[in-house]
Chains A and B, each alone.
Chain A
Amino acid sequence: MHEISIVRSVFETLQEAYPDKFKRITKVQIEAGLLSNIQPILIQNAFEALIMEEPALAEIELEVLLLPIIAHCAVCDKDFEVKRHKFMCDCGTPSKNIVQGEELQISRIEFLEN
């Protein structure tokens, strides 16, 4: 799997997006849809491994939130949660119109005030 490269890209992305705040970041929240094939524990382990190379990141807390898969039913015109990978609305209509579940993104950061 490619957890190490994901964790690396978390910090590269943050460095790029927050050059001035980067050093003051205390917590990073990542949102991962259930379709992203992300395992929170593996991300945490990859992060611990990365800290050995980059001790400066040791004080940062990393949180991974898993997001359920939500699809849209065209017949009912409403969203429904996809459970047990059955992409079908309660009304029986199949749908692959994914509203949520493919995300892999940084959703929130906490940082010390200057």
Chain B
Amino acid sequence: MSTPSTPKSNRMPVGSVQCDNTTLNLLKANDFVAKAIRDRLPEILVINVCSSPGSGKTTLMQETGKRLSDKLNLAVLVGDPETDRDAVRMKEVGINALQIVTGGMCHIEAQMILQALDHIDLTGVDLLFIENVGNLVCPAAFDLGEDIRVTVLASTEGDDKPKKYPRMFLTSELMVVSKADLLPYVPFSVEAVTQDAREVNPTIEVMAISSLKGDGMDQWCEWLLAKVAEKKAKLATA
């Protein structure tokens, strides 16, 4: 840094000092907006999909869109620090998608979702995916008004990740092991990663999927359909 930081003076404060014990939540603004999003989308199941970069989130979205196109109406909000490449990829396969460019930011904040809702047509949509910025650290702290958080972990990333990023796995309902077709070629054990994840989150569900080859895709789509039905049933009884 060119400018030296301002040194603190050592002088004692003049006059007497008082203390106030308080609780001022620093994520209050985000949580407030997240609630507004929940209130605005009572009929749509919102799933926040998190992972590291390159785990295959966009490919999973593309393949999910193709398989569920005649069963439900799906939309995707996709966040990246730069470019609209992911939204373009999804539109290419006919998915209603909108890119959120975070401008270098390492996570999506609720405010960005709320603003994006004004620019995407959600008429008749049953399921809204939020494809978060590839990062297992920061996105864990930001509630985006989602119903469910899903973490995708590629078989090429190693089976020791859950304990390294505990908050992400703690707050996820499902861990998708992606690129499952590569399991025979990489030192990755689904059993070991499941055990690691369940030491952080005892109730986390685990599903191994290959978006490209199709393994596990039926199970994933059934899971999604069941969750959409659950949300609609909840609305009907409310």
Contacts and interface: CB of A to CB of B under 8 A. Distances in A.
Contacts of A51: 5-6
Contact of A58 (B6, B15, B17, B25): B6
A79 B54 CA distance: 38
Contacts of A61: 8
B24 interface: yes
A88 B199 contact: yes
Contacts of B107: 2
A26 interface: yes
A91 interface: no
Interface in B66-99: none
Contacts of A109: 19-20, 22
Contacts of A102: 167
Contacts of B163: 84-85
A79 B198 CA distance: 19
A113 interface: yes
B170 interface: yes
B170 A2 contact: no
Contact of B22 (A6, A9, A96, A106): A106
A55 B14 CA distance: 19
Contacts of B13: 26, 112
A105 B23 contact: yes
A111 B13 CA distance: 9
Given A85-B163, A87-B201, A105-B25, A1 B18 contact: no
Interface in A1-34: 1-2, 6, 9-10, 13-14, 17-18, 21, 26-27, 30
Contacts, number: 112
B138 interface: yes
B112 interface: no
A94 interface: yes
A52 B6 contact: yes
Nearest to B11: A59
Chain B CB count within 10 A is highest, among A55, A58, A85, A86, for A85
A94 B198 contact: yes
A36 B201 CA distance: 16
A48 interface: yes
18 contacts: A1-B138, A2-B106, A9-B26, A14-B24, A36-B141, A37-B141, A51-B5, A58-B6, A87-B200, A87-B202, A96-B200, A98-B170, A102-B167, A104-B25, A104-B141, A105-B26, A108-B22, A110-B17
Interface of B: 1, 3, 5-6, 8-9, 13-29, 105-107, 137-138, 140-141, 163, 166-167, 170, 198-203
